[in-house]
Structure 1
Amino acid sequence: PAGKTLSMSFETIQAATDAGAACIVADNTCVPVLVEWNKNVAARLPGFPGIKGGMMESNGPENYGDWLRLLSEFPIPNASWLSPQDGAYVLDETYYALSGGIFQEPSVYTNLLR
């Protein structure tokens, strides 16, 4: 979803679901702020066959040498859902209440525009 508009993502998800296909979200080596946009979509997908929830491929730590710095710049840098546990993101009530932090100002980016 971060690589296209949300409306296009929703149309693609609807078409795939209508065709009986299982959907996953791929993060395409996104920075943490965009990973959270993707995670919000994946968290609301129909359950992937064999698991309880949606599925998302995520490879930021493998592709960004400064991943820990990028995480520290996230609006909620110590959020438990930023890092997977045993290969899965654990999304709790706080995650859903805050939408993973996607509506909070990513000041590291907005400060670039000032």
Structure 2
Amino acid sequence: MSLSLTKKAILAGYAHSISLKGFETNRLFLVTAAGIISGIPVFDEKTDNLNVTVAQTLNSAALEAVSKADSPDEERSAGSGEFILLRDARFEATTPVVNFPILTVFYDQIIAVSLGTDPTNR
């Protein structure tokens, strides 16, 4: 298994674990070179949250456009499984904290992953 596939598999495992009993209050924490991104993973679920619906629609349209534009000889620059969608996302560098109602995070930007509750209670 390539490093990229291993990274994606581990991230997917952490993301899906939030749906397990006892982990419902956890957030996914993603460490990047710029800071820490935390949020609740969003999968292909139907929702009344307009932000989630719009982000899912935009991401799907972008993936479809890239898929149609790709030639068999070119490496895909974006595609299904290359990012994770987070709701109630927060980006923390030094200061200030930036909150996002929805955030698409590309896997290649992630250095590390963890689960946990919000230690700052912000």
Name the one with the larger helix percent. Answer: 1
Which is bigger in relative contact order (C-alpha 8 A, separation at least 6)? Answer: 2
Name the one with the larger strand percent. Answer: 2
Instruction: Report the structure number with the largest CA radius of gyration.
Output: 2
Instruction: Give the TM-score, by structure 1 length.
Output: 0.31
